[in-house]
Chains A and B, each alone.
Chain A
């Protein structure tokens, strides 16, 4: 299939607008058949539906090579020196911003993403990528406490519960995340500062607070706080909303709360990295993930909050009314996105090393 074919099909698709919407849906697959039927996806662990990938392959004939990363930085490190062949990556808001600055993301062709129309309009113009030119929101969530109701007295709705623990029975029964911006950010919020502080004094105060809290902390968990909670290793952990919501579904003694001082709210995004070998298939995949039925299955599996308004409208109440999925609006209004702090990242790094070494 040559370039001429591609151009021809594109022109036909343009003309075909009058030929009816149904036909239009199919033409993009035809147009991209110039690409081999292969797609290399690099996603977070436990971040997709159970049938999503097989159904995608069944529907499009495109084989999916699916790799996992544990955090944004791991993904960034792998792409920093050049894209090793990924077509789809799922960076969080601040990472999208950094990758855009470094010109690491392809421009999305919105005409190939008709399912964009399902997006809640609150997500259409984020500060990190105005107009969603290079990214499409996939899921969003908050950071908060997962806790065991029978072991924690009352509702631990403040950062003080973990940073200034008064309950001796919770000593060494709590875990923080092994994430410098998240943990120092929580301490900054508790002290009344911004999560994205550039002030060495403020970050220093947050560092001292976390160091003094360490005597009651069991470990800095590698995004497996929910496992520690389920296995009874801790009674309270700092985690991402959906990770706790997913285990809450199996254990009614578990609950999730966002500290009232405010916490982190984030959006993960579907992006195509520069140098992607199959950009056509990547567009097909992004569009597929926002198909209402497909998206509902994903949301029902991973329990993160969806930016897809059409899918949300069709979801059941135990998802849409679940505070572990959608945090209450007043708490959410005090939450912040983690932003790139540029050269001041070193302040956070040094504070974090001090926390670890203390």
Chain B
């Protein structure tokens, strides 16, 4: 490819529209939010520009740090589960016969064709007390009960009590894993696709077992993909507010919900802006760690 310095005009034409779009609809609004974050809340919820650090000071109070810490944990668990499920899935697709790869990838991307809100609502229908999962369990229970009665043990199974699956932290994690799994699978797949199979064959030939080959050969080779997938999943998870809002119980507030509360019912846009920027700074730090990690010049997979 040509060096951009040799043809600045053509380069400008290609990069112009995207830059214009980003500056006008991303950087400028972001700058407004940044200015807001130094402001204050008027008695009716107006945003007053005051240039003080009070909002950041408030954001660093224990209660807010606690919410950030909890969000970090929940996002961490969701990311780990995504990795554990996404890794074999990505490997399966990457090693599948060529004609199957695209259909399989399509299935991974398919959920994006439906709106996130609808997909989250459908989890309510699955998980609630009188939801599909509890109905299935009840059916299983009844059938087992019938079989036991037939075998002469009528009281063994007892009565079925539906499980409390919705409105708690596990429901939030299930929702987060479901929503973000494709963001883990795609970068992993991109890395594994490029993986030279002969390394794996060599490892197995030379006496390493499957587990050792996995951890000592495959994982180091696809590390950029793992890193991209983990970061993408984590950053998206930690900022989410819809999933905890709809599936969470009374203790599921995440940092995204706190920010939404400030822009909504509390009408304190200034404090909400400060919280948003705090979250953004944290994200930048994570990204910076990634860049430092990926310094050896390897492609990152996406």
User: A interface vs B, CB < 8 Å?
Assistant: 71, 73-74, 76-77, 80, 98, 101-102, 172, 179-181, 214, 217-220, 222, 231-233, 340, 342-343, 345-346, 348-350, 352-354, 356-358
User: Looking at the complex, which one of B45, B128, B245, B250 makes contact with A76 (CB distance below 8 Å)?
Assistant: B45
Verify B264–A102 contact, CB threshold 8 A. Answer: no
| CB of B134, distance to nearest CB on chain A (Å) | 11
Contact flag A343-B248 (CB < 8 Å), given A218-B167, A352-B261: no
Contact flag A343-B265 (CB < 8 Å), given A353-B63, A358-B251: no
**By CB atoms of chain B within 10 A, which of A218, A345, A356 has the most?**
A356
Contact flag A102-B46 (CB < 8 Å), given A233-B166, A357-B67: yes
For A227, the closest partner residue in chain B by CB is B124
Contact flag A73-B253 (CB < 8 Å), given A98-B45, A353-B63: no
Verify A345–B45 contact, CB threshold 8 A. Answer: yes
User: B interface vs A, CB < 8 Å?
Assistant: 41, 43-46, 63-64, 66-67, 70, 128-130, 164, 166-167, 245-246, 248-251, 253, 257-258, 261-268
For B264, the closest partner residue in chain A by CB is A73
For B268, the closest partner residue in chain A by CB is A349
Verify B250–A349 contact, CB threshold 8 A. Answer: no
Contact flag A340-B44 (CB < 8 Å), given A73-B264, A232-B129, A349-B268: yes
Given contacts A350-B63, A353-B64, 8 further A-B contacts (CB under 8 A): A73-B265, A80-B46, A98-B45, A219-B167, A343-B41, A352-B266, A356-B253, A357-B70
| CB of B68, distance to nearest CB on chain A (Å) | 10
Contacts of B64 on A, CB cut-off 8 Å? 353
Contacts of A354 on B, CB cut-off 8 Å? 63
Verify B129–A71 contact, CB threshold 8 A. Answer: no
Verify B130–A232 contact, CB threshold 8 A. Answer: yes
| CB of B269, distance to nearest CB on chain A (Å) | 8
Contact flag A77-B261 (CB < 8 Å), given A233-B128, A357-B253: no
The 3 A-B pairs with the shortest beta carbon distances in the complex, nearest first, are A342-B43, A356-B253, A349-B266
Verify A179–B46 contact, CB threshold 8 A. Answer: no
Verify A217–B261 contact, CB threshold 8 A. Answer: no
Contacts of A350 on B, CB cut-off 8 Å? 63
| CB of B39, distance to nearest CB on chain A (Å) | 13
A-B contact count (CB 8 A): 93
The distance in angstroms between the C-alpha atoms of A348 and B268, with both chains bound, is 12
User: Looking at the complex, which one of A231, A232, A343 makes contact with B43 (CB distance below 8 Å)?
Assistant: A343
Q: Is the interface of A mostly helix, strand, loop or mixed?
A: helix
Contacts of A98 on B, CB cut-off 8 Å? 44-45
Contacts of B266 on A, CB cut-off 8 Å? 73, 180, 345-346, 348-349, 352
For B125, the closest partner residue in chain A by CB is A231
For B166, the closest partner residue in chain A by CB is A233
Verify A77–B264 contact, CB threshold 8 A. Answer: yes
For B46, the closest partner residue in chain A by CB is A102
The distance in angstroms between the C-alpha atoms of A350 and B264, with both chains bound, is 14
| CB of B232, distance to nearest CB on chain A (Å) | 27
Verify B268–A214 contact, CB threshold 8 A. Answer: no
Jot down 12 A-B pairs with beta carbons below 8 A, ordered by A: A71-B265, A73-B267, A222-B246, A233-B128, A345-B45, A345-B267, A349-B265, A349-B268, A350-B63, A356-B258, A357-B70, A358-B251
Contacts of A76 on B, CB cut-off 8 Å? 45, 267
Contacts of B167 on A, CB cut-off 8 Å? 218-219, 233
Contact flag A231-B130 (CB < 8 Å), given A219-B167, A349-B261: yes
For B63, the closest partner residue in chain A by CB is A357
Verify A214–B251 contact, CB threshold 8 A. Answer: yes
Contacts of A101 on B, CB cut-off 8 Å? 43-44
Verify B166–A71 contact, CB threshold 8 A. Answer: no
Contacts of A77 on B, CB cut-off 8 Å? 263-264, 267
Contact flag A179-B265 (CB < 8 Å), given A222-B245, A233-B128, A345-B45: yes
Verify B128–A231 contact, CB threshold 8 A. Answer: yes
For A210, the closest partner residue in chain B by CB is B250
Contacts of B164 on A, CB cut-off 8 Å? 172
